[in-house]
Amino acid sequence: MRALLVVNPAATTTSARTRDVLIHALASEMKLEVVTTEYRGHARDLGRQAAESDDIELVVALGGDGTVNEVVNGLLHNGPDLDRLPRLAVVPGGSTNVFARALGLPNDAVEATGALLDALREDRERAIGLGLAAGTPGTEDEAVPSRWFTFCAGLGFDAGVIGRVEQQRERGKRSTHALYLRQVARQFLDEPHRRHGKITLERPGQDPVTDLVLSIICNTSPWTFLGNRPVYASPKASFDTGLDVLALNRMSTGAVARYATQLLTSSPERGPHGKHALSLHDLTDFTLHSKAPLPLQMDGDHLGLRTSVTFTGVRRALRVIV
């Protein structure tokens, strides 16, 4: 079997020595081509090349959720095709690794490599659903290219937090959970729309839901991790269903304290709930409109400001080694 290993050299939890060990282990089981990413979007380009090749059967992403997202978008550049596209495998190397952990992989890169090799020997794979976001036709965002996401997206507050974290990282700060929590507090204090939401959710055959302040779209559960603690924004979300949405129509101090506590104590059985919370399960198509440009994030990557985004849940979009 010929495989492509896409390595992010900036992955926060793997050293050069660890990467060498992993490469040696993988190369002992397959004909392995190793490419180290050199620029933003490089992993996407490599994924596209693998999808268009005639003999690459497997693409392994060694890095965090951002690296995985780029590889997935490259593989699916021309759309899903389970019979034609290479399979995807993930070796976690980032600070959180939500996608890999949601698949049930160990969070340690060495252990995950061992699990990957076992899965390949036993021919274990899974066809998973993914989310697709695109600029809404007829709006100013119509020309924005579509983009796939593996585990979550968000328009508004959470995307603003991620944008702040990225700014801090550009200034040399390490990506830690403490950094995220500080930026959550700062985003809340600076949030101009927390009492009067600007977001409207529209879906076919249903009345619009208006005045939303926060909107989180989940393709799987958990939504994220704080260290080893899983956080469930939409406990029913699954790679086997459509997309789930958690939205809030109020972010007063009391409401935020209540829902933050519910997130921290969430479980696979119960997530945030209450009169200001909207939870929707297994959506195939819906659109989020905003009266003002709001930040958008996908898989923890800040993508700038948007006023209208259409989301699609695509079942069985990609084969993944598990």
CATH number, domain with residue 264? 2.60.200.40
Contact 129, 317 (CB under 8 A): yes
Residues 44 and 138 placed together within one structural domain of the fold: no
> Tell me, what's the pLDDT at 144?
92
Residues 90 and 185 placed together within one structural domain of the fold: no
Give the domain range for residue 193. Answer: 131-316
Residues 285 and 163 placed together within one structural domain of the fold: yes
Residues 264 and 303 placed together within one structural domain of the fold: yes
pLDDT digits (tens, 9 = 90+) for 42-88: 999 999 999 999 999 999 999 999 999 999 999 999 999 999 999 99
Residues 18 and 112 placed together within one structural domain of the fold: yes
Residues 114 and 149 placed together within one structural domain of the fold: no
Residues 227 and 277 placed together within one structural domain of the fold: yes
> Tell me, what's the pLDDT at 189?
77
Q: Specify if 207 maps to a domain.
A: yes
- What total number of domains does the chain contain? 2
Residues 169 and 276 placed together within one structural domain of the fold: yes
Q: Specify if 310 maps to a domain.
A: yes
Residues 72 and 96 placed together within one structural domain of the fold: yes
> Tell me, what's the pLDDT at 246?
97
User: pTM for this one?
Assistant: 0.93
Q: Specify if 322 maps to a domain.
A: no
> Tell me, what's the pLDDT at 192?
67
Q: Specify if 42 maps to a domain.
A: yes
Domain boundary among 107, 123, 139: 123
Q: Specify if 32 maps to a domain.
A: yes
Q: Residue 94 is part of a domain; what is its CATH number?
A: 3.40.50.10330
Domain boundary among 92, 123, 154: 123
Q: Specify if 321 maps to a domain.
A: no
Residues 282 and 307 placed together within one structural domain of the fold: yes
Q: Specify if 15 maps to a domain.
A: yes
Residues 186 and 254 placed together within one structural domain of the fold: yes
Residues 247 and 175 placed together within one structural domain of the fold: yes
Q: Specify if 180 maps to a domain.
A: yes
Domain boundary among 71, 90, 123: 123
Residue ranges of the chain whose pLDDT lies below 50: none
